[in-house]
């Protein structure tokens, strides 16, 4: 697989299943990995915010990533983050250990480079220091993670990453098509790829040259995202229908994610519990969120049947 092909397509942000004691449920994780791959995804984003990485110990973080790599066994490429430390020295150590796991790229978190009050100059200076400290045997990427605060990348940072030759992957959460178009122009001709995390702008971003999707809704209907990324050019009218559904369905992520996604995985037999380290599940069941999610899933299943998926 060429570098250009490696980072295209659909990259689920992986959940972490837990047992009743909130310990990692490895058997359920195997089922989840196989489910993603059976849906035709092009790669996996392990150890990310959806994986509850800020609530994992460093030992668990590395163990989780290695487990994913072992069970994937080369079937699809894998990127991973686990970039949660605050101090620059600790971040370099943390990312260096992640690079040694064998992932295709190590994904950094944009808000780790500077405090909210600090300038983009600080971001770029720290990014350069971290980049120089990590082996060039692994690709690098950046995720504009909204936790603990959302830090969007400046044009200067995007340009530097593209020109460095080290960066392969940006998980874009700007949710603004004009910004995505500008970023695509900045990275043109480089090995850097943009995966949009936003369902509402996805089709427009693909039409503009974006390379794929990496968002939370791959935990419900990854097949539809795969279909859209692979068929939007050749079946444009159907692509609009699929895009309209995915855009509307993606509003459901606000209904107590990741509990809603874990409840769906429980309903299809992949998970044994909805246990999460980020929140309790009570509100999801008491606020009628579960019924709303079930309706969204049923509409998606109807759409898949109509597409022959």
Please report, for the domain that includes residue 129, its CATH number. Answer: 3.20.20.70
Report how far residue 110's alpha carbon sits from residue 164's, in angstroms, rounded to the nearest whole number: 17
Average the pLDDT over 207-214 and give the result.
98
* Of 207, 81, 92, the residue nearest 144 (C-alpha): 81
Q: Is residue 113 part of a domain?
A: yes
Number of domains in the chain: 1
Q: Is residue 137 part of a domain?
A: yes
Q: Is residue 254 part of a domain?
A: no
Q: Is residue 258 part of a domain?
A: no
Rounded to a whole number, what is the distance in angstroms from the first to the last CA of the chain? 25
Average the pLDDT over 113-138 and give the result.
97
In this predicted model, what pLDDT tens digit does every residue of 76-108 receive, in sequence order?
A: 999 999 999 999 999 999 999 999 999 999 999
Q: Is residue 78 part of a domain?
A: yes
Predicted confidence (pLDDT) at residue 1 exceeds the cutoff of 50: no
Predicted confidence (pLDDT) at residue 4 exceeds the cutoff of 70: no
Edge-first strand listing for the sheet containing 193-196: 9-10, 212-213, 193-196, 167-172, 139-143, 105-109, 78-80, 44-46
Query: Quick one: pLDDT at residue 238?
Result: 97
* Of 248, 169, 168, 236, the residue nearest 203 (C-alpha): 236
Distance from chain centroid for Cα 124: 23
Structural domain of 109: 3-221
Query: Quick one: pLDDT at residue 253?
Result: 87
- Residue 250 φ/ψ region, left for φ over 0, alpha for ψ in the -120 to 50 degree band, beta for the rest: alpha
Predicted confidence (pLDDT) at residue 169 exceeds the cutoff of 50: yes
In this predicted model, what pLDDT tens digit does every residue of 256-302 receive, in sequence order?
A: 999 999 999 999 999 999 999 999 998 899 878 999 999 999 999 99
Q: Which neighbouring-strand residues pair with 212?
A: 9, 195
In this predicted model, what pLDDT tens digit does every residue of 36-76 receive, in sequence order?
A: 999 999 999 999 999 999 999 999 999 999 999 999 999 99
Report how far residue 182's alpha carbon sits from residue 16's, in angstroms, rounded to the nearest whole number: 34
Predicted confidence (pLDDT) at residue 3 exceeds the cutoff of 60: no
Q: What is the DSSP string of 159-184?
A: HHHHHHS-EEEEEE----HHHHHHHH
Predicted confidence (pLDDT) at residue 200 exceeds the cutoff of 90: yes
Q: Is residue 74 part of a domain?
A: yes
Q: Is residue 203 part of a domain?
A: yes
Q: Is residue 44 part of a domain?
A: yes
Q: Which neighbouring-strand residues pair with 170?
A: 142, 194
pTM here is: 0.96
Report how far residue 81's alpha carbon sits from residue 222's, in angstroms, rounded to the nearest whole number: 21
Mean pLDDT, the chain, whole residue set: 96
Answer whether 107's CB lies under 8 Å from 146's CB.
no
Cα–Cα separations (whole angstroms), residue 199 to 158, 168, 169, 171, 204 = 22, 21, 18, 13, 10
CB atoms within 10 A of CB 107: 27
Predicted confidence (pLDDT) at residue 2 exceeds the cutoff of 60: no
């Amino acid at each position: 697989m060429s570098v250009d092909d490696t980072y295209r397509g659909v990259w689920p942000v992986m959940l972490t299943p837990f047992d009743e004691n909130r310990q990692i449920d490895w058997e359920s994780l195997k089922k989840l990995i196989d489910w993603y791959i059976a849906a035709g995804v092009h790669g996996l984003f392990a150890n990310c915010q959806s994986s509850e990485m800020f609530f994992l110990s460093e030992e668990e973080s590395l163990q989780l990533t290695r487990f994913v790599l072992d069970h994937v066994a080369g079937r699809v490429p894998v990127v991973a983050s686990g970039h949660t430390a605050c101090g620059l020295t600790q971040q370099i150590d943390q990312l260096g250990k992640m690079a040694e796991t064998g992932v295709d790229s190590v994904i950094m978190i944009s808000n780790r480079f500077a405090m909210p009050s600090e300038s983009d100059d600080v971001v770029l200076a720290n990014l350069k220091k971290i980049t120089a400290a990590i082996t060039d045997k692994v690709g690098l990427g950046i995720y504009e993670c909204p936790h603990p605060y959302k830090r969007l990348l400046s044009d200067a940072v995007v340009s530097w990453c593209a020109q460095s030759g080290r960066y392969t992957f940006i998980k874009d959460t700007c949710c603004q098509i004009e910004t995505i178009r500008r970023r695509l122009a900045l990275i043109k001709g480089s090995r850097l790829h943009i995966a949009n995390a936003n369902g509402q702008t996805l089709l427009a971003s693909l039409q503009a040259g974006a390379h794929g999707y990496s968002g939370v809704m791959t935990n419900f209907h990854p097949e539809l995202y795969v279909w859209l990324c692979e068929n939007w050019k050749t079946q444009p009218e159907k692509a609009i229908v699929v895009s309209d559904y995915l855009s509307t369905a993606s509003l459901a992520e606000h209904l107590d994610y990741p509990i809603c996604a874990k409840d769906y995985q429980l309903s299809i037999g992949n998970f044994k519990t909805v246990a999460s380290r980020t929140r309790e599940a009570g509100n999801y069941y008491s606020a009628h969120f579960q019924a709303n999610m079930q309706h969204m899933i049923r509409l998606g299943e109807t759409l898949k049947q109509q597409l022959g998926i």
